[in-house]
Amino acid sequence: MYKIAYEDIRTDSQLDAKAREREIIQRSIDLLAGARDEGTDSIAAVEALHFTIRVWSVFLEDLASEDNQLPDELRANLISIGIWILRAAEAIRQGESHDFDALIDVSEIIKDGIR
Cβ contact 107:22 at 8 Å: no
What is the number of domains present in the chain?
Answer: 1
User: Is residue 1, in this structure, part of any structural domain at all?
Assistant: no
Cβ contact 88:95 at 8 Å: no
User: Is residue 65, in this structure, part of any structural domain at all?
Assistant: yes
User: Is residue 105, in this structure, part of any structural domain at all?
Assistant: yes
Q: State pTM to two decimals.
A: 0.86
User: Is residue 91, in this structure, part of any structural domain at all?
Assistant: yes
pLDDT in tens, 25-58: 999 999 999 999 999 999 999 999 999 999 999 9
Burial-class residue 31 by CB neighbours within 10 Å (0-12, 13-18, 19+).
buried
Mean pLDDT score, 55-64: 96
Mean pLDDT lowest among 8-12, 69-73, 108-112: 8-12
Q: What is the DSSP string of 23-71?
A: HHHHHHHHHHHHHHHH-TTSHHHHHHHHHHHHHHHHHHHHHHSTT--S-
What rounded mean pLDDT belongs to the chain?
Answer: 91
User: Is residue 72, in this structure, part of any structural domain at all?
Assistant: yes
Domain at 23, CATH number: 1.20.120
pLDDT in tens, 2-27: 444 434 444 458 888 899 999 999 99
- Note down the domain range covering 21: 6-113
User: Is residue 93, in this structure, part of any structural domain at all?
Assistant: yes
